[in-house]
Amino acid sequence: MPGYHPQDIEKKWQAHWKDQQTFRADNASAKPKYYVLDMFPYPSGAGLHVGHPLGYIASDIVSRYKRLRGFNVLHPMGFDSFGLPAEQYAIQTGQHPALTTEQNIGTYIRQLSSLGFSYDWSREVRTSDPAYYKWTQWIFLKLFNSWYNLDTNQAEPLKTLLDKFAENGSAGIRAAGDEEERHSFTNGQWKLFSEKQRLQAVHPYRLAYQQDTYVNWCPGLGTVLSNDEVKDGLSERGGFPVERRLMPQWNLRITAYADRLLQGLDTLDWPDAVKEMQRNWIGKSIGAEVEFRIQNSAEESAEDQQPTTNTQQPTIKVYTTRVDTIYGATFLVLAPEHELVAELTTPGQQATVQDYIDATKRRSERDRMADTKTVSGAFTGSFGINPLSGEPVQIWIADYVLAGYGTGAVMAVPSGDQRDYVFAKNFRLPIIPVTDAQQIEEQADPTKEGRYINSELINGLTYKEATHKLIQHLEANGIGKGKTNFRIRDAIFGRQRYWGEPIPIYYKEGVAYGVAEADLPLVLPEIDEYKPTETGEPPLGRAKDWKYKGLYDYELSTMPGWAGSSWYYLRYMDPHNAERFVGEEAEQYWQNVDLYLGGAEHATGHLLYSRFWHLFLKDLGLVTANEPFQKLINQGMILGRSNFVHRLSDIWGYDIQDSKEPEWMEVEPTVFISNELHQRLNSGKSSATEKAWVESKLNEKAIFWNAINSKSVSLKVNFDDIDFSKSQPIHVDVSLVDNDILDIQALEKWRTDFANALYISEPDGQFICSWEVEKMSKSKYNVVSPDVLIERYGADALRLYEMFLGPLEQYKPWNTNGMSGVAGFLKKLWRLYHPQDGGFAVTDEAAAPAELKALHKAIRKVEEDIEKFSFNTTVSALMITVNELTALDCHKRAVLEPLVVLLSPYAPHLAEELWVELGHAAGSISSATYPEFREEFLVEDTVNYPVAINGKVRETLQFPATATAADIEAAVRASDFLARFAEGKEAKKFIVVPGRMVNVVV
């Protein structure tokens, strides 16, 4: 059959690329390298919908374009295949998650291949493959066996720390981490320590360490969840309650890299919004740490509260960025999880405090940070002493303070902080102004202007003077010190799940040891169920005889989902290397990712953790680049176009006819009404004829409602009794709708409960659905499978359409109806090579100037737009070019051969087919040369000039492009222009703007 039929050519070329490994990249080449990477997908059972490939199409266009520009391109794909969804499915079905994961990956590979992506599939990685996660475990062991030396500002092997212990003990060692967790000892004591004592002393220095940590614990799922997996106190998956719980957890000391992670952002070509999110998440601040003494039993507490009995109480440390306001600190607020809360709570406040703590456990840290409106807290009953004013201050707990940030305690200054102000107003606590510039009658005033008042030591000073003097005073008196702080906290690394990388740790005498590198990978054992044990252990507790060397218990937690994705870009460089996580030569050649595409939702998760791991590996000399991803583009989301049928929800009254006694019956029938008809009826814009027609349709269907009363009677529907404003929109599967026209029979098969409903269509018989743009989701039945569209329109059309929807970074609504326009463009392009859809008929005739002009405009536009990742405008340019060449009836090789190369990144299947027809070797278009733009083909021979009299355009005249201003003036004077438009007046002045216009002043 003549004509363009993508189904006939696309599978052919996909098979060719696979058989010939067309896109296989070399780890050594004289060509410049270019590494393009997509954030690899988690293979869910639902497969891809049309929103997923958006970034993949863009990265593939860039990859194919860069090959044409002479680059050695690495464009790999793999799967983030560990995760909670597969485990939950395993719990429900008893099916091993490896099996469902394998099946899902098969679906993804089929779908990705059907879109013609130029991936080097020989480099595919899967995070759940033991050959891959062997190296994830290996990197963890490197972290476990390293510490962060603040003197060298980098991670070092533990051996350098042990050498320091042997020489000087713990004295003088500056290491990242919590100093209070560490022991002090001399070198003599170190030498006398047992192995166990040495390991216990070293553990608080490790970059991977175990510590009691507050986590999001979900009893329903039996696991710890990340903040991203918790919403409104419930697990995102399953909707189970989540609580904050103190548990022993493995942590990674990302805080050691906080400053370097912050500085590195300045070197990256990333969206400003993503960099700002990371800056805020890292949260660097410069301030002071201050100690508030706790009031002891010998001191009378304010408001006659019961004094505490402990005379040796510790101090409360607070971190503040506004030490200048310390005299205005009128109360202290601790995180509900703070270690001193139990000790500070007086008997009279015990019930109140415990209730508040229990409520806090049900909220995630993210919810607590985001909620700025709720005012809540509980008084402990105890008091602290302001270290400068000497005044007693109440000690409260409140969930807006987080245990992991700073010290888990804040000094509350209601005159300068709005949250403290609202809290103080709500609980009637003192508010003391601290500067003469503050206006605090209605809200807090954080100003640094004016001079200090009510602040004995710094009264009359400015902000800079006061801050400097206070820090000096605090340090001189041993009650505080200047300090730089970060909001970021160490990353919780353990998950109480099965389907994840086993943490390569075993325990001897209760002390953690790393599994020997030679014994990696530590493979997931087989277990009978994927739920926690009856005694509350993680699922790995079900493994039988699972011990290291047959003797020692393994760690039962597994790694989080982000572990394998934190370094996968390195494995792609050398995926089959059995001796090293990435070969040195391969890593030095590829170095890092030149272009990374993915969602902005990973800004403070995957992207931050990957940068952390990369910096660590660089410290150990294992990688050479400073950052993993040099340029980042966040593709926007493709939104679904949902369709709705409207069910009238009014309860109507019906006269029951043919009964012996008059009766009135109320029913609520299932009646669906076409959207446009519904709008007319609801707005009162329908005609009397249309109203009568609707009433007749209702009465035709009335027999179906007789069964409601089990009476063989007819019902009479009165139109005026119906309230058309009452209706319920119901989602329908968009696959049942074409151009908003519903297939009623298909709906009745899909929803059997609608089989006996009444469908009131438009007078022409069509039933029109309403629509709305929403997030694409299975629950909204607006998911569109690429499989269906590829079968109908072809993969090239889908690729072009997704790019044509709008700028890559923006959110875009999906509308399948638009696919036909792009498919029509490809057919029109085909006809340039196959006139009237006949045989191939490209000629070797010389190209005309107009044809070369159209081509070279396209060459320049496509190049400029791809280089700035403006893919939608490139598609528009190609469409314009094809329209111009069609109008010129161009079928010439000199124009159409370069045009195929321009097209190939966007529509590779069609381009390959035409390339072969043009006489080239099969599959060779990927190694073709991008056409050279030649400016001379765009030079115009003539220019059209608007010619004006006193600024008012009267006519357009054509002059040679080389004409000078004098030439143009002479030509206008010689013409009849002045005679026709100057009204007999003489020309005083000629103003000629070269190439633009002529203005004659008369």
Q: What CATH number does residue 901 fall under? A: 1.10.730.10
CA 731-732-735 angle, 5° bins: 140
Other Cβ atoms within 10 Å of 309 Cβ, number: 9
Region of 474 on the Ramachandran plot (φ > 0 left; ψ -120 to 50 alpha; else beta): alpha
**What DSSP line would sit under 829-846, residue for residue?**
HHHHHSGGG-S---B-PP
**Euclidean distance between CA atoms 696 and 643, whole angstroms:** 27
Residue 589 in domain: yes
Range of the domain at 451: 284-297+313-486
Residue 660 pLDDT > 80: no
* Cβ atoms 95, 498 nearer than 8 A: no
**Euclidean distance between CA atoms 582 and 592, whole angstroms:** 12
Residues 670 and 730 in one domain: yes
Q: From residue 862, give the alpha-carbon distance in Å to each of 797, 929, 937, 977.
A: 18, 14, 16, 42
What value does the mean pLDDT take over residues 533-557?
A: 92
Give the DSSP letter of residue 935: G
Residues 719 and 758 in one domain: yes
Region of 263 on the Ramachandran plot (φ > 0 left; ψ -120 to 50 alpha; else beta): alpha
pLDDT at 650: 59
Residues 157 and 260 in one domain: yes
Other Cβ atoms within 10 Å of 941 Cβ, number: 9
Sign for the pseudo-dihedral over CA of 690, 692, 693, 699: positive
Other Cβ atoms within 10 Å of 911 Cβ, number: 24
Residue 789 in domain: no
pLDDT at 820: 93
Nearest Cα to Cα of residue 778 among 44, 42, 39, 43: 44
Higher pLDDT, 243 or 110: 110
- Strands 491-492 and 243-252, by their bridges, are antiparallel
pLDDT at 312: 52
559-594: pLDDT as tens digits: 999 999 999 999 999 999 999 999 999 999 999 999
pLDDT at 708: 44
Matching residue, tokens 């510590």: 211
pLDDT at 717: 64
CA 150-153-156 angle, 5° bins: 85
Matching residue, tokens 């870009």: 569
Classified as helix, coil or strand, 380 is: strand
66-115: pLDDT as tens digits: 999 999 999 999 999 998 888 888 888 888 999 999 999 999 999 999 99
Residue 797 in domain: no
User: CATH number of the domain that 414 lies in?
Assistant: 3.90.740.10
List strands edge to edge, sheet with 505-508: 511-514, 505-508, 552-554, 547-548
**Euclidean distance between CA atoms 447 and 253, whole angstroms:** 36
pLDDT at 941: 73
Question: Which of 717-729 are b and which e, b meaning 16 or more Cβ less than 10 Å from the residue's Cβ?
Answer: beeeebebeebee
Residue 499 in domain: yes
Residue 345 in domain: yes
Helices (DSSP H) in 320-390: which residue ranges?
Answer: 341-344, 350-361, 365-370
Matching residue, tokens 């997509």: 38
Classified as helix, coil or strand, 857 is: helix
Residue 787 in domain: no
Give how far the C-alpha of residue 815 lies from the chain's centroid of Cα atoms, to the nearest Å: 23
CA 490-493-495 angle, 5° bins: 140
Residue 805 in domain: no
Which of 205-219, 283-297, 921-935 holds the top average pLDDT? Answer: 921-935
pLDDT at 900: 98
Residue 532 pLDDT > 90: no
Residue 705 pLDDT > 80: no
User: CATH number of the domain that 581 lies in?
Assistant: 3.40.50.620
**Euclidean distance between CA atoms 442 and 629, whole angstroms:** 48
871-901: pLDDT as tens digits: 999 999 999 999 999 999 999 999 999 999 9
* Cβ atoms 799, 117 nearer than 8 A: no
* Cβ atoms 290, 480 nearer than 8 A: yes
Grade residue 219 by pLDDT with cuts at 50, 70 and 90: confident
The last residue of one of the domains, among 744, 775, 806, is: 775
Residue 238 pLDDT > 50: yes
pLDDT at 652: 52
Region of 505 on the Ramachandran plot (φ > 0 left; ψ -120 to 50 alpha; else beta): beta
Residues 116 and 15 in one domain: yes
Phi, psi of 859 (to 5 degrees): -55, -50
Other Cβ atoms within 10 Å of 545 Cβ, number: 6
**Euclidean distance between CA atoms 43 and 39, whole angstroms:** 12
Classified as helix, coil or strand, 225 is: strand
Give how far the C-alpha of residue 773 lies from the chain's centroid of Cα atoms, to the nearest Å: 20
Other Cβ atoms within 10 Å of 536 Cβ, number: 10
What value does the mean pLDDT take over residues 719-742?
A: 86
User: CATH number of the domain that 953 lies in?
Assistant: 3.10.20.590
What value does the mean pLDDT take over residues 202-217?
A: 89
Residues 270 and 183 in one domain: yes
Other Cβ atoms within 10 Å of 598 Cβ, number: 21
What's 699-713 look like in SS3? HHCHHHHHHHCCCCC
Residue 914 in domain: yes
Residue 741 pLDDT > 60: yes
Other Cβ atoms within 10 Å of 765 Cβ, number: 8
**Judging by beta carbons within 10 Å of its beta carbon (0-12, 13-18, 19+), is residue 128 exposed, middle or buried?**
buried
Nearest Cα to Cα of residue 60 among 819, 790, 907, 879: 907
Residues 688 and 699 in one domain: yes
Residue 608 pLDDT > 70: yes
What value does the mean pLDDT take over residues 795-800?
A: 98
What value does the mean pLDDT take over residues 326-340?
A: 95
- Token readout for 873 is 């405008």
**Euclidean distance between CA atoms 149 and 528, whole angstroms:** 45
Residue 663 pLDDT > 70: no
280-284, 665-669, 756-760, 875-879: segment of lowest average pLDDT: 665-669
Give the DSSP letter of residue 502: B
- Strands 652-656 and 664-667, by their bridges, are antiparallel
Matching residue, tokens 């220019």: 943
Residues 143 and 265 in one domain: yes
pLDDT at 298: 40
Size of the chain in residues = 1002
Residues 77 and 198 in one domain: no
Phi, psi of 990 (to 5 degrees): -110, 125
289-311: pLDDT as tens digits: 999 999 974 444 444 433 333 34
What's the number of domains the chain is made of?
A: 6
Residues 462 and 511 in one domain: no
Nearest Cα to Cα of residue 759 among 643, 644, 647: 647
Higher pLDDT, 489 or 885: 885
345-402: pLDDT as tens digits: 999 999 999 999 988 887 877 778 777 788 999 999 999 999 999 999 999 999 999 8
Classified as helix, coil or strand, 637 is: coil
**Euclidean distance between CA atoms 478 and 471, whole angstroms:** 10
123-173: pLDDT as tens digits: 999 999 999 999 999 999 999 999 999 999 999 999 999 999 999 999 999
% of the chain residues with pLDDT over 90: 71
Which pTM does this prediction carry?
A: 0.83
Q: From residue 91, give the alpha-carbon distance in Å to each of 230, 529, 707, 912.
A: 20, 7, 44, 47
pLDDT at 665: 46
Nearest Cα to Cα of residue 594 among 559, 568, 625, 552: 625
Residues 177 and 221 in one domain: yes
**Euclidean distance between CA atoms 610 and 80, whole angstroms:** 14
Grade residue 667 by pLDDT with cuts at 50, 70 and 90: very low
- Token readout for 429 is 């606590």
**Euclidean distance between CA atoms 605 and 601, whole angstroms:** 8
Other Cβ atoms within 10 Å of 482 Cβ, number: 16
Residues 253 and 343 in one domain: no
Residues 925 and 978 in one domain: no
Q: Amino acid identity, residue 240?
A: F
The reply to whether 631 sits in an annotated binding site is no
Which of 476-480, 652-656, 970-974 holds the top average pLDDT? Answer: 476-480
* Cβ atoms 922, 916 nearer than 8 A: yes
656-665, 806-815, 837-846: segment of lowest average pLDDT: 656-665
How much is the mean pLDDT over the chain?
90
What value does the mean pLDDT take over residues 791-808?
A: 96
Q: From residue 410, give the alpha-carbon distance in Å to each of 322, 327, 399, 407, 488.
A: 11, 14, 12, 8, 17
The end-to-end CA distance of the chain, in Å, is: 68
- Token readout for 917 is 């027809």
**Euclidean distance between CA atoms 357 and 270, whole angstroms:** 41
